[in-house]
Amino acid sequence: MKAIFIAYNQAYGTEIVELLEESGQRGFTQWIDIQGRGGEQGEPHYGNHAWPTQNYAILTIVPDDKAPGLMAALHEKDERYPDLGLRAFMWNVEEMV
């Protein structure tokens, strides 16, 4: 199993959840209205008057065989809209309860 953490601009709205559903991934945990800033070129997303946008984040656990396709779809979406900001990180899940 793989854990995929996705942090993305709120402007994506429900698109990331829809992408998960299209890939057959049902389970996830979502955080909304979170703050952050990209490491290299990203603008701050603080939800204040100077930097009004915010981010959302999702953590989903996927089977090993589905993970590469999901990561590729996320990468394609990020390349299509580079100014919005989308980051996805994947790591191995050692154990689940």
24 exposure class (CB count in 10 Å sphere: 0-12, 13-18, 19+): exposed
Enumerate the domain spans of the chain: 2-92
- What gap in Å lies between CA 62 and CA 30, rounded to an integer? 15
CATH number for region 2-92: 3.30.70.120
| pLDDT for residue 89 | 98
Q: How far is CA 3 from the centre of its chain?
A: 12
Q: What is the pLDDT of residues 19-61, one digit of tens each?
A: 999 999 999 999 999 998 877 777 888 889 998 889 999 999 9
**Residues 63, 1: contact at Cβ < 8 Å?**
yes
List the structure tokens of 67: 């993970």
